[in-house]
Amino acid sequence: MVRGKTVIKRIEDKTRRQVTFSKRRSGLFKKARELAVLCDVQIGVLVFSSTGRLYEYSNTRDMYIFWNKDGQG
């Protein structure tokens, strides 16, 4: 059985939107970890929620120092 194209649009229900964001953010960070291990690369991911909260993932400490404004880590 073949699925049709999924229409991507904003989720209107705030609770469902937050749950979806949380699950997709976790999946994105998992994919970043896998890519870093499989390809032996440095990965950094920044995600801002709709409320402006920052979520970040990095597989090396160097990325945290890079993202820090004053470079002090």
pLDDT at 37: 95
Matching residue, tokens 């609770």: 15
Compute CA distances 57 → 11, 13, 26, 36, 63, whole Å.
25, 27, 10, 11, 9
pLDDT at 8: 92
Domain ranges within the chain, ordered by starting residue? 14-67
* Domain at 14-67: CATH architecture: 3-Layer(aba) Sandwich (3.40)
Instruction: Give the pLDDT confidence of 15-45 residue by residue, as tens digits.
Output: 999 999 999 999 999 999 999 999 999 898 9
CA distance 13 to 21: 12
pTM higher than 0.85 for the full model? no
Closest by CA position to 29, among listed 68, 65, 67, 58: 58
